[in-house]
Amino acid sequence: MLQPLLPVYVNTHRFGGGRPRVSDRCCADAIFYVLRTGCQWQALDQTELCAHSTAHDRFQTWVKAGVFLALWQTGVEQFDEVHELDWDWLSMDGAMTKAPLGGEKTGPNPTDRGKSGVKRSVLTEGHGVPIAVEVEGANRHDMKLTRSTIMGIVVDRPEPTEEKQQGMCLDKGYDYQEVRDILHDFGFTAHRQLVDERAAR
């Protein structure tokens, strides 16, 4: 699934020389090893995969080329073909995680002594398959990522109808009129708990 999405490599070395290029498969194994274990890139030097600098360079190249976004989108589309995405009930929530390497989309984490972190807003369909992710600084409120997360859905979304509504499950962190307005704009039906708990206060 990954190979067709990779950019075509062009040897820019004069006369086509230079050191033999590490295979995409070897670099992919190293990249997914880091992602799966959470180890630092330098830890790859203690494995038989490939040098950490090679894996990191290939990772950066593939990120810029949109390879991992395309891989995710392809996986969601294939899931839809086999099992069909469940648009009846969706769920959105945010989670704060560490960001030791920093980056543009970071901010002080209020639950981790103000250390640099990120907020990941994730939207899943009825089976729990993530169909949208938005990343901002850890100090960003969940509800402020509602619109951008919905707009980031990676597959075509069917049009909701009166007979086939699309419910959105949210916790109390989204209990704002602004969120209700956004859901209405996109044709989602807010989960009853979000609407009724506020009226019952």
Q: What CATH number belongs to 85-199?
A: 3.30.420
The percentage of the chain sitting over the pLDDT mark of 70, rounded to a whole number, equals 80
Distance CA 28, CA 49 (A): 9
* φ, ψ (nearest 5 deg) of residue 12: -95, 0
Domain ranges across the chain: 3-65, 85-199
Report the pLDDT value the prediction gives residue 183, as an integer from 0 to 100: 94
Report the pLDDT value the prediction gives residue 82, as an integer from 0 to 100: 93
Report the pLDDT value the prediction gives residue 36, as an integer from 0 to 100: 85
Distance CA 181, CA 20 (A): 56
Beta strands at 167-169 and 89-98: parallel, antiparallel or unpaired: parallel
Which candidate, 101, 88, 115, 80, places its Cα nearest to that of 38?
Answer: 101
Tell me the average pLDDT across 41-65.
Answer: 92
pTM here is 0.78
Distance CA 46, CA 34 (A): 12
Buried b (16+ CB within 10 A) or exposed e, 133-162: bbbbbbebebbbbbbebbeebbbebeebee
Report the pLDDT value the prediction gives residue 195, as an integer from 0 to 100: 45
Report the pLDDT value the prediction gives residue 40, as an integer from 0 to 100: 86
Res. 98 pLDDT band, cuts 50 70 90: low
Angle subtended by helix axes 24-37 and 52-64, to nearest 10: 90
pLDDT tens readout for residues 127-180: 999 999 998 876 777 788 899 999 999 999 999 888 899 999 998 888 889 999
Write down the residue that tokens 């099992």 correspond to. 83
Write down the residue that tokens 């993530």 correspond to. 130
